[in-house]
Each structure stands twice: as structure tokens, then as C-alpha cells.
């Protein structure tokens, strides 16, 4: 059965919807007056903010009942490593042992793509590489959350927490959907192209940028011995922080763009994922940027929010 609208599959429609939601939220924040007297607007701000950007907004006490610790971010990556690791193993078993995917996974992919499993293309190198890189990315972020980042007592909304858990589950399924809609044929190694290499190189560079940025942020709260000395928020400096307020968000966008290159740039579905990441990170970056400007009079005015010289 095909769920489609204007030629888009169900998974395409889902990512279009999510990208649209964050684009509208970004625009609503940009045009807002910054006042929170309106109950609906206060709820909106409560839903889009987390961590340091959430601390100074006025909220009713009942809203705080839905707060969960921001340090629970590591749960997202633990889920991602486990789930996407499982999907990778199932896919490797499908490719090299010629064992079909479990019936439940086949049914989900049928629904999301509208392409029956029996009509799917041969396994693609792009899909396997993206699965591997997604697992590497998730594992690195998990280790950074556990052993590098220093989280304050900041909070996030329960809705954000549930959304984050579901996000990486859907993301892993999205990667597998490409095998249903792609055009790859022949042996895996024979499919290797320069775009795979370019995507891999960009992935490494973006990952290093993100790691460096996270280390610099953690260094604001630790001493030379590595022990935590404060949980206060400070102005970050060094690295790409000299250009943007949130280079780690910019790096996240580059990582997803790199995976689109690994998909040889032909996966409409993954470009929709990139579009979602763009608006999602733009909103988070703008919130942090606005906070820095309002809180620190000496904050460098030449810095952008998260894309150098652009946004």
C-alpha cells in the first residue's frame, strides 16, 4: 500500500512536516516581541527552549511539572547506538547472509516508502555507509555526553525528551528506506564513487569541529585539572566560536549534509532530513545567540548564530 501525496512517500511527508514545524517556530521566534504575558506564547517558548535558554523565561508552576534534566541528552544517543546498531546488524545479515529483514521491519519500510520489499532494489553501498557513519556519530556523541560535557541543572520539556527518543528511531528507519527507493545495482564495492569519499571527508571534518566545540564549552566549567569548578554560563571563545555562537550546531548540519553526499546527493528523503536539521538547529542556535547578546554587553556583535557570515 502506498501512502503518497504529490508523489511523496509517507517518510517524505513526515520529514516535510517536521521541517515545516521548526521553520514556523523559527519565524515565530524571530518576529516575536520577546514578551511572555500571553499564555499560549509562554507555552510555545516552554516547548522550544531548553537548558540555559529556558532558565530566564517566566513560567507558571504547572509548566515546571513537565521539566526533565537536560543532562538526559545522553539517553538519545544511547537509544541511537542501540537501535541503529541493531538495524545495521540486520542489514549486514540481509546483504551477506541473504536473510530477509524481520517481518515487522519489512512492514514498517513498506508503509514508509510505499515500495513493497519484493520490488526493492539491490542493496546499496550508500545505505550501508550512512548506517555505519550514523552509528559512529551517535557513539561519539554518547561518549561526549558521558565523559566530556558538563551539564548544569538546566531542563528540557518532556515533549522534547520524548521527541528526541523517537527521532533517532525514525532516522534509522529513514536510512533503510533508501534501499527501497534508490537505484544502486551490482556489487557493493563497484558502486563506490567520489561523492562517497567527499561525504566521508566532510563527515570527519564536521565531527572534529563539533568535538572541538564541545571540548571548548566543557572547558568553561572545568579547571586545568579537569575537575568541574563551576556550572555558570560563560562566553565561549576560540575555534569557530569566533565566528558563530553555536559552531557545534553548524557542525551538526554539516554532518547531515555529508551523509547526503554519501547518498550521492540523489536521495530526496535525506535532503528533507537535512532541511529539518537546518531549521531545528537554526532555532536552537538563534535562542542561544539571543541569550548571549542580552546577557553580556561585551558579546562580539560580529558573530552569527550558527552559520558563519550567514545566519
> Residue ranges per domain, the chain?
10-295
Task: Write out the DSSP string of 36-91.
Answer: --SHHHHHHHHHH--GGGGTTS---GGGGGGEEEGGGHHHHHHHHHHHHHHHHHHH
What residues contact residue 204 under an 8 Å CB cut-off, 6+ apart? none
pTM (global) more than 0.85 = yes
Give percent of the chain above pLDDT 90: 67
Which pLDDT value is given to residue 5? 47
**How do the residues of the chain divide into helix, strand and coil, expressed in percent and rounded to 5?**
65, 5, 30
Per-residue pLDDT of 224-265, as tens digits, reads 778 888 888 889 999 999 999 999 999 999 999 999 999 999
Per-residue confidence at 118, pLDDT binned at 50, 70, 90?
Answer: low
Q: How confident is the model at residue 119 (pLDDT cuts 50, 70, 90)?
A: low
DSSP 8: B
CA 44/CA 118 separation, integer angstroms? 44
Amino acid at each position: 500500500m502506498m501512502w503518497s501525496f504529490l508523489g511523496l512517500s509517507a517518510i517524505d511527508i513526515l520529514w516535510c512536516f517536521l521541517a515545516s514545524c521548526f521553520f514556523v517556530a523559527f519565524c515565530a521566534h524571530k518576529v516575536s516581541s520577546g514578551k511572555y504575558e500571553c499564555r499560549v506564547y509562554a507555552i510555545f517558548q516552554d516547548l522550544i527552549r531548553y537548558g540555559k535558554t529556558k532558565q530566564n523565561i517566566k513560567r507558571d508552576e504547572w509548566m515546571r511539572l513537565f521539566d526533565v534534566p537536560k543532562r538526559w541528552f545522553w539517553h538519545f544517543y544511547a537509544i541511537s547506538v542501540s537501535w541503529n546498531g541493531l538495524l545495521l546488524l540486520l542489514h549486514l545479515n540481509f546483504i551477506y547472509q541473504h536473510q530477509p529483514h524481520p517481518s515487522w521491519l519489512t512492514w514498517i519500510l513498506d508503509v514508509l516508502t510505499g515500495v513493497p520489499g519484493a520490488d526493492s532494489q539491490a542493496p546499496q553501498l550508500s545505505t550501508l555507509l550512512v548506517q555505519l557513519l550514523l552509528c559512529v556519530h551517535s557513539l561519539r556523541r554518547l561518549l561526549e555526553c558521558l565523559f566530556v560535557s558538563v551539564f548544569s541543572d538546566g531542563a528540557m520539556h518532556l515533549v522534547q525528551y520524548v521527541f528526541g527518543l523517537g527521532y533517532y528511531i525514525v532516522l534509522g528507519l529513514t536510512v533503510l528506506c533508501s534501499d527501497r527507493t534508490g537505484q544502486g545495482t551490482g556489487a557493493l564495492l563497484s558502486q563506490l564513487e567520489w561523492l562517497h569519499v567527499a561525504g566521508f571527508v566532510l563527515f570527519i571534518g564536521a565531527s572534529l569541529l563539533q568535538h572541538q566545540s564541545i571540548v571548548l564549552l566543557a572547558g568553561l566549567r572545568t579547571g586545568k585539572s579537569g575537575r568541574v569548578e563551576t556550572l555558570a554560563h560563560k562566553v565561549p571563545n576560540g575555534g569557530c566560536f569566533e565566528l558563530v555562537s553555536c559552531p557545534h550546531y553548524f557542525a551538526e548540519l554539516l554532518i547531515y549534509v555529508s551523509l547526503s553526499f554519501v547518498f550521492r546527493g540523489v536521495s530526496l528523503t535525506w535532503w528533507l532530513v537535512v532541511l529539518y536539521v537546518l531549521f531545528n538547529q537554526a532555532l536552537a542556535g538563534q535562542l542561544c545567540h539571543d541569550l548571549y547578546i542580552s546577557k553580556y554587553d561585551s558579546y562580539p556583535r560580529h558573530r552569527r548564530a550558527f552559520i558563519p557570515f550567514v545566519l
